[in-house]
């Protein structure tokens, strides 16, 4: 069976409200609040009604759910793991760039 599907891209320009986030990820608002208190999510806006979440926060939220369920990591541990994963990703990109320059010089 072949179907042609249009898709939604979560890019840097898209923002989501609390209720969009809860619906997209099937979580309760309290869970989102817990992640905000832990510094895992940092929405723009002061009050829950004004909160705007970016695409990267959907990703962080979903990874948080999986890490907690699959590896029984608690919230502070999840926050640490997410930060370290991001740092590894940045370093990996830098390494690739440097390898390209080095390959040229050789």
Partner 1 sequence: MEFKDYYTTLDIKKDATQDEVKRAYRKLARKYHPDVNKAADAEQRFKEVGEAYEVLQDTEKRAAYDKFGSNWQSGQDFKPPPDWDNGFEFQGGGYTEADSSQFSDFFESLFGRQSEFSHQDPSQGRQAPFYGKGQDLHAKISISLEDSYNGSKQTLTLQRPTVDASGHVRTTPHSLHVTIPKGVIEGQRIRLEGQGAAGSHDGANGDLYLEVTITEHAHFSVDKRDIHLTLPISPWEAALGATVPVPTLGGTVELKIPAGSQTGKKMRLKGRGIASRTMSGDQFVTIAITVPTPENDEQRELYRKMKETMLFNPRTTLGMSS
CA angle 30/71/57 to nearest 5° reads 45
Q: Provide, rounded to whole angstroms, the least separation between the CB of residue 60 and partner 1.
A: 10
Angle between helices 75-105 and 55-71 (to 10 degrees): 110
Considering beta carbons, is residue 4 or 46 the nearer one to partner 1?
A: 4
Burial (CB count within 10 angstroms: exposed 0-12, middle 13-18, buried 19+), residue 5? exposed
Question: To which residue do tokens 């010089």 refer?
Answer: 105
Considering beta carbons, is residue 46 or 97 the nearer one to partner 1?
A: 97
Task: Work out whether 7 is an interface residue with partner 1 (CB under 8 A).
Answer: yes
Q: Provide, rounded to whole angstroms, the least separation between the CB of residue 84 and partner 1.
A: 9
Q: Provide, rounded to whole angstroms, the least separation between the CB of residue 78 and partner 1.
A: 10
Contact yes or no for 40/79 (Cβ under 8 A): yes
Residue 53 has phi, psi (to 5 degrees) of -105, 145
- Per DSSP, 19 falls in state H
Task: Work out whether 106 is an interface residue with partner 1 (CB under 8 A).
Answer: no
Task: Work out whether 3 is an interface residue with partner 1 (CB under 8 A).
Answer: yes
> Which chain residues interact with partner 1 by CB under 8 A?
1-13, 24-28, 30-31, 55, 58-59, 62-63, 65-71, 81, 85, 89, 93, 96-97, 100-101, 104-105
């Amino acid at each position: 069976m072949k179907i042609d599907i249009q898709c939604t891209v979560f890019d840097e320009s898209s923002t989501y409200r609390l209720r969009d986030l809860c619906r997209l990820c099937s979580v309760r608002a309290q869970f989102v609040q817990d992640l905000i208190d832990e510094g895992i999510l940092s929405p723009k806006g002061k009050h829950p009604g004004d909160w705007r979440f970016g695409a990267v926060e959907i990703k962080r939220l979903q990874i948080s759910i999986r890490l907690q369920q699959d590896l029984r990591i608690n919230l502070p541990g999840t926050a640490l793991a997410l930060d370290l994963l991001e740092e590894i990703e940045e370093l990996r990109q830098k390494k690739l760039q440097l390898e390209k320059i080095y390959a040229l010089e050789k």
